[in-house]
Chains A and B, each alone.
Chain A
Amino acid sequence: MFFGAFFMLYVLGMSLESEQGFNAAAQMLTESFFAKLIAWGLVSALLYHFFAGIKHLVMDFGHCEELESGQKAAKATLVISAISVLLAGVWIW
């Protein structure tokens, strides 16, 4: 994500620069296979990082730290992340 953010900032800059830039960015994200692949990859990484991060914050408050509760929280995170990645896929593709 850290190196991928480069693409996101580039597209953000392009989209705010001018009308043509905005249209170019919009067109790229709807038609270019490669751009959509990068976007989906980054959004998926972000979604997983987001849900795993929330799990960590929950654990910092002292929950889900035993063996079974920890495993359950980990599995839930994976399931929620997988679902959101698929939904993001539908949204992007």
Chain B
Amino acid sequence: MVTSITSFGRSGLYDWMIQRVTAVALAAYTIFLMGYMLFTPELDYQQWKELFECTAMRIFTLLALLSLAAHAWIGMWSISTDYIKPTGIRFLFQSACGLLTFIYVVWGIQILWGV
């Protein structure tokens, strides 16, 4: 019998694994971007724009964006199921998080390819 229909994946184990895998992808992206900004103090527009125009960076950024969507969904779902006991309010909260996640993904893609 299916007991949970709002979680990211069908099983808790699947969510557990996805959260770890996306965490590693996000950690790598965070290290790269922080390192890049730290080691180019005199960053100008041209250089910044060219960074995001190169395909490898777009792939990496989209990977981070989709990882963020899954990682955040699982994380926020865990928080909501821990702390928001009334079903109605919890469902509203999860829907709001889902909508915001969708907005981030579309907005991110627009920023990356609408350049």
Contacts and interface: CB of A to CB of B under 8 A. Distances in A.
A46 B30 contact: yes
B20 interface: yes
B109 to A, nearest CB: 11
B30 A9 contact: no
B10 interface: no
B20 A60 contact: yes
Contacts of B44: 22
B89 interface: no
B97 A9 contact: no
Contacts, number: 44
B72 A57 contact: no
Q: Give the size category of B's interface with A.
A: 20 to 34
Given A2-B72, A57-B23, A9 B104 contact: yes
B96 to A, nearest CB: 10
Contacts of B115: 16-17
Q: Give the size category of A's interface with B.
A: 20 to 34
Contacts of A19: 45
Contact of A13 (B27, B38, B68, B107): B107
Nearest to A9: B107
Contacts of A9: 104, 107-108, 111
A2 B76 contact: yes
Tell which of B68, B75, B108, B111 has the most Cβ of chain A within 10 Å: B111
A83 interface: no
Interface of A: 2-3, 5-6, 9, 12-13, 15-19, 22-23, 46, 50, 53-54, 57, 60, 91
Listed from nearest, the 3 A-B pairs whose CB atoms lie closest are A22-B45, A13-B111, A19-B45
